[in-house]
A and B are shown apart, each in its own frame.
Chain A
Amino acid sequence: MRVFDLVKTPLRELNSALHAIAPGRNDTNFEVINPRGSHAVAVGIDQPVTVDVRGSVGYYCAGMNDGGTITVHGSAGPGVAQNMMSGTVIIEGDASQYAGATGRGGLLVIKGNAASRCGISMKGIDIVVHGSIGHMSAFMGQSGHLVVLGDAGDALGDSLYEAKLFVRGTVKSLGADCIEKEMRPEHLQKLAELLEKADVQGIRPEEFKRYGSARKLYNFNIDNADAY
């Protein structure tokens, strides 16, 4: 276990060390203490390392993660796990705006609440939020799953493509072209799998509603002009 104290060690040293891990190495456990809201903690990981961050981080933590397991034992600022390719990012507290934006793969778990634009333009990432999410979440979501145990804010899934959204609580409003859809057995099965991966206990997939694209905005149609 290598420990980086960000009060004493520059952030660049941490990220350089994470990038220097060669394939097949086994010294892959890292701990980061005193992050004190630092930006860009543990970005660009491309090996199956484990990073435990003890405290809250600022912007863009765990960005571009490809295979790492990063746990923030605190809250995360804007853009956490942005453009994740694979791996797992766990936020024990809350996440700020655009968590998991443009993510192509992997799993993002937020144990608190997420703010606005959670999963914006998601492209294959799975996001599980134990709390609630803010407005404009999953805007232009293309693929992947967004699971919300709490409530969703305004304009959920605006201009959605094929990302699948599951919300257990209330949805303040649905965005353009986003509709409630039937929960079929394959969705219940996928949801059960995601809940288990995200360490959600005592909540059944049947408690959720599914939302998805009405597919009316895929191609420009003059009759839909008002909806754009």
Chain B
Amino acid sequence: MCGIVGLFLKDSRLEPQLGQLLSDMLITMTDRGPDSAGIAIYGSATEGKAKVTIQSAKPNIDFADLERDLAEAGLPARVARKSTHAVIAVAAARLADVRSVLAAIRPDVRIMGSGDSVEIYKEVGLPKDVVARFDVRSMSGTHGIGHTRMATESAVTTLGAHPFSTGSDQCLVHNGSLSNHNNLRRDLTREGMAFETQNDSEVAAAYLTAEMAKGKDLGEALTSALDDLDGFFTFVVGTKSGFGVVRDPIACKPAVMAETDQYVAFGSEYRALVSLPGIEDARVWEPEPATVYFWDHEKAA
């Protein structure tokens, strides 16, 4: 089944509440998928700085002295730990080096996502526990997406949890199952994309990353996905400033959206939206099949 939520704020006064609102939305969707949960939050970007969210199965060992070891490897960085995850802040120009340095000094550490503003936290377990261990409620930001998983493709592991991030500041959550993900994975691997799981949703994320690398914006990449991805899907995706939703042409995976002057919200069910401010007066609708919905802070500005 899986449960998806997403919240894109138009009114900056709500930004301090983003983590709180998104947490409540996600926890409400627990019974759609109790296997694992994850959340991606787009916070404020710092000029010239980039962030990398990492995860470790043995954080006490891997995260101890990480700042010092990174510096010794020639990569000055700040490390902020949260439970099994940590966010490494580095100079944007050095972002590409983080992966290779980590592979050398901390080979067991996994990269959840990176970019100017995104932080990604995901683990196996119930949404309420995942939300608590990463203190998601205290996080502020401009937009975010969340997922609670009922596994149908690939194992119940931290890496198999959503969101999947395959490009800078890009991430995707998925409800459904793809039928042509193995073929697509082969094609994308040939194009240079790397995969960390056998999960179909990771292929969808990588597909969008590859399309955007060709110069498409998120809306255009989602339109291409309708032609190239086969199977059932409701996707909610985030980019640095954008938020998109698309459903396959059969559209049997549930989706409901709400829009007010303050926000655009997505939920697998209306229940996920009932606590949002002003929901009583929101425009609430079910997204059409094979139709791309897309909002962008930069385009709106």
Q: Answer whether residue B91 sits at the interface, using C-beta atoms and an 8 A cutoff.
A: no
Contact residue among B254, B271, B288 (Cβ-Cβ distance under 8 Å from A96)? B254
Give, as a whole number of angstroms, the nearest-CB distance from A133 to chain B.
12
Answer yes or no: B285 CB below 8 A from chain A CBs: yes
Q: For B254, give its contact among A36, A75, A78 (CB under 8 Å).
A: A78
* Given known A-B contacts A94-B285, A135-B289, A77 and B252 have beta carbons under 8 A apart: no
Determine the distance from Cα of A94 to Cα of B256 in the docked complex, in whole angstroms. Answer: 11
Assuming the contacts A94-B285, A96-B286, asked whether A36 and B256 have C-beta atoms less than 8 A apart, the reply is no
Residues A57-98 near B (CB distance < 8 A)? 58-59, 75, 77-78, 93-94, 96-97
Residues of chain A within 8 A of B269, CB atoms compared: 37, 58-59, 77
Q: A96-B254, A97-B286, A134-B289 are in contact. List 5 more A-B contacts (CB 8 A).
A: A37-B269, A56-B270, A59-B269, A93-B284, A94-B284
Q: Which residue of B lies closest to A115 (CB)?
A: B286
Would A58 and B289 count as touching, CB distance under 8 A? no
A102 interface residue per 8 A CB criterion: no
**Closest CB of chain B to A61's CB: distance in Å?**
11
Question: Which residues of chain B come closer than 8 Å to A75, judged between CB atoms?
Answer: 270, 284
Q: How far is A134 from B285 in the complex, measured between Cα atoms in Å?
A: 13
B289 x A116 contact (CB < 8 A)? yes
A134 neighbours in B (Cβ, 8 Å):
251, 288-289
Q: Does A38 contact B (CB under 8 A)?
A: yes
CA distance A135 to B251 in the complex (A): 9
Of the residues B251, B270, B285, B289, contact of A37 by C-beta under 8 Å? B270
- Say whether B285 contacts A77, CB under 8 Å: no
- The count of A-to-B residue pairs whose CB atoms sit within 8 angstroms is 43
Closest 10 CB pairs of A and B: A37-B271, A37-B270, A36-B274, A115-B286, A56-B270, A58-B269, A37-B274, A58-B271, A96-B286, A116-B251
**Complex contact B256–A38 (CB within 8 A):** no
- Give the number of residues in B that approach A within 8 Å (Cβ atoms): 15
Interface residues of B (CB under 8 A from A): 251-252, 254, 256, 269-274, 284-286, 288-289
**A115 / chain B contacts, CB cutoff of 8 Å:** 286
Which residue from A58, A97, A116 sits with its C-beta under 8 Å from B270? A58
Kindly state the separation between the CA atoms of A215 and B284 in the bound complex, as whole angstroms.
Answer: 39
A96 touches B256 (CB 8 A): yes
Q: Are A36 and B289 in contact (CB under 8 A)?
A: no
| Cα-based distance from A38 to B284 in the complex (angstroms) | 16
Contact A94 B271 (CB under 8 A): no
Q: Shortest Cβ distance from B175 into chain A, in angstroms? A: 13
Question: Is the pair B271, A36 in contact by a Cβ cutoff of 8 Å?
Answer: yes
- CB-CB under 8 A from B288, the residues of chain A are 134
Q: How far is the CA of A58 from the CA of B3 in the complex (A)?
A: 14
Q: How far is the CB of A121 from chain B (nearest CB, A)?
A: 15
User: Least Cβ distance of A57 to chain B in Å?
Assistant: 8
Q: Which of A113-132 contact B (CB under 8 A)?
A: 115-116
CB contacts (< 8 Å) of A116 on chain B: these are 251-252, 289
A77 touches B251 (CB 8 A): no
Chain A residues within an 8 Å CB radius of B252: 97, 116
Question: What would be 19 A-B contacts, judged by CB atoms less than 8 Å apart?
Answer: A36-B274, A37-B271, A56-B274, A56-B284, A58-B269, A58-B271, A59-B269, A77-B269, A78-B254, A94-B284, A94-B286, A96-B254, A97-B252, A97-B286, A116-B251, A116-B289, A134-B251, A134-B289, A135-B251
CA distance A77 to B274 in the complex (A): 13
What is the distance, in angstroms, from A195's C-beta to the closest C-beta of chain B?
A: 25
Taking a contact as CB atoms under 8 Å apart, the answer to whether B271 and A97 are in contact is no
Which residues of chain B are near A96, meaning CB under 8 Å?
A: 254, 256, 286
Q: Distance (Å) between the CB of A15 and the closest chain B CB? A: 18
Residues in A whose Cβ lies below 8 Å from that of B254:
77-78, 96-97
Roughly how many angstroms separate A96 CA and B268 CA in the complex, as a whole number?
12
Distance of A135 Cα from B250 Cα, bound (Å): 8
Question: Roughly how many angstroms separate A135 CA and B247 CA in the complex, as a whole number?
Answer: 13
A window 4-44: CB within 8 A of B: 36-38
- Across the interface, which residues of A come within 8 angstroms of B256, CB to CB? 77, 96
CA distance A75 to B274 in the complex (A): 12
Min CB distance B186 to A, Å, is: 32
Name the residue on A nearest B252 (C-beta): A97
Contacts of B274 in A (CB 8 A): 36-37, 56
Q: Which residues of A contact B270 (CB under 8 A)?
A: 37, 56, 58, 75, 77
B245 CB to closest chain A CB (Å) equals 15
Query: A37 — which chain B residues lie within 8 A by C-beta?
Result: 269-274
User: For chain A residues 92-116, which have a beta carbon within 8 Å of chain B?
Assistant: 93-94, 96-97, 115-116
Residues from chain A with a CB closer than 8 A to the CB of B251 are 97, 116, 134-135
